[in-house]
A and B are shown apart, each in its own frame.
Chain A
């Protein structure tokens, strides 16, 4: 299965996800083209975080298909039927999908630099020297070169989140996903993180961003998706969704948060 440059980087087709009785995703389909940044907005419980977690198979979907760079995530097709991939194969797929969490989830027992170089060394098999060089460059990029040897607990939330972004970038992912990356931050720390995310978007990194930061969405998003109740309610260019929303639910949501 070779990756076409014409096919979308992320292709979500008719995805359903249930937690017990609760249907969190009810037939979600979306495409993210290469180099595009998609912003997903919506009320809490609308399924946007779950959608991200399904894309890198942290959650298994109940039906539908998810392709990243043309590869079916989490399954392989054997004689027309879908079979679960082995843990190792899923891990290989995840290595190509960067994920940034709301609560950073930095490895507490490692310094910032060790956080960044851990996976490149253990997963990609980079030499320690290569990984360190790359890691320091990435920390420099997110403005934290001088914090390389600090432990997460010694960093502010904003700094931790920027380390987390550097950590994800160190795997050279094909797509970056941000799950409410700034929601847990003090207001004055949000800007630094959004700056890094905007810069990456402008550099052509494919991105899926779940956020409540409408300013970021206007500046960096190619498309905005509004989700509610496990379905995509509205989708379009940022100014279209924000300034001329077609759906009443979108209007109500925007009124509530702006």
Chain B
């Protein structure tokens, strides 16, 4: 039996894999565009590979983190008085407070520049892991709050009914509360996902080359480039952003419909995508 978070993790992974498959084709197209307009474009494929991986991996990590930290924290908020496991509550509360309350840029700098110095260079992270960790930690904090809101949004009677049938709190959480909370969680998560995709541009500050940074590099590297060309470059970047966010939106729609079951009176035949996902989920 896969945990819900693990299922989401695999869905995220599948998206990343899909992105990687599509990527060379798209990259080829845009490279042609770029080349015809602006001359050769160095290593844009790798840049995009990195970027997609970033987006997918960070959201996976965030979801996973929510499973391990945020969801327990959220469920525990409701029974503060009764709960005896104080350490977890404190740790997750501190984590959310810290990472939601400080700028992402600061967190990236901290992980990349400050950690090595603090640990006397015992812990040195290269650009990618550093960016990955900082983005994940930041995202996890926001996800935690979203998940908490989702859990609170499920009627208290559901937990009581589950408990009255002899389910423990954790079993009820997994089988009854979370599957219903997901429905509430998905829309703001889609939001977060998209905003995080764009936030990845901040990693350019630790010399990871992202899309927008790339545009600037090309612009400054090309002598005699005109205003029209710069406009075109920005358009290319915008199209890329839109391609990614559209894919995310499309996927979000499917997930939303899947978890809406039981909340709409109409009896629908599941679509192909849904059947695939339901099959994968049910078997888990």
Contact = CB atoms under 8 A, between A and B. Distances in A.
A99 B160 CA distance: 10
Interface in A64-91: 87-88, 91
Contact of B161 (A87, A88, A106, A111): A106
Interface string A101-122: 1010111111100000011001
Contact of A118 (B175, B183, B263, B267): B175
17 contacts: A58-B163, A91-B168, A94-B164, A96-B166, A101-B157, A101-B160, A105-B155, A106-B161, A108-B180, A109-B179, A109-B261, A109-B262, A118-B176, A119-B165, A122-B171, A122-B175, A123-B171
A194 B263 CA distance: 27
- Where chain B touches its partner, the secondary structure class is helix
Given A118-B175, A153-B262, A56 B180 contact: no
A240 interface: no
A107 B158 contact: yes
Contacts of B198: none
A123 B165 contact: yes
B262 A101 contact: no
A154 B166 contact: no
Given A87-B168, A91-B167, A123-B166, A105 B262 contact: no
Q: Which of B155, B157, B165 has the most CB of A within 10 A?
A: B165
A160 to B, nearest CB: 12
Contacts of B263: 108-109, 153
In this complex, which of B166, B167, B169, B262 has the most chain A Cβ atoms within 10 angstroms of its Cβ? B166
B121 interface: no
B75 to A, nearest CB: 13
Contacts of A119: 162, 165-167
A150 to B, nearest CB: 8
A118 B169 CA distance: 15
Interface in A171-188: 171
A56, A91, A101, A103 pick with most chain B CB within 10 angstroms: A91
A53 to B, nearest CB: 8
B265 interface: yes
Contacts of B167: 91, 119, 122-123
Contacts of A92: 166
Interface in A103-157: 103, 105-111, 118-119, 122-124, 151-154
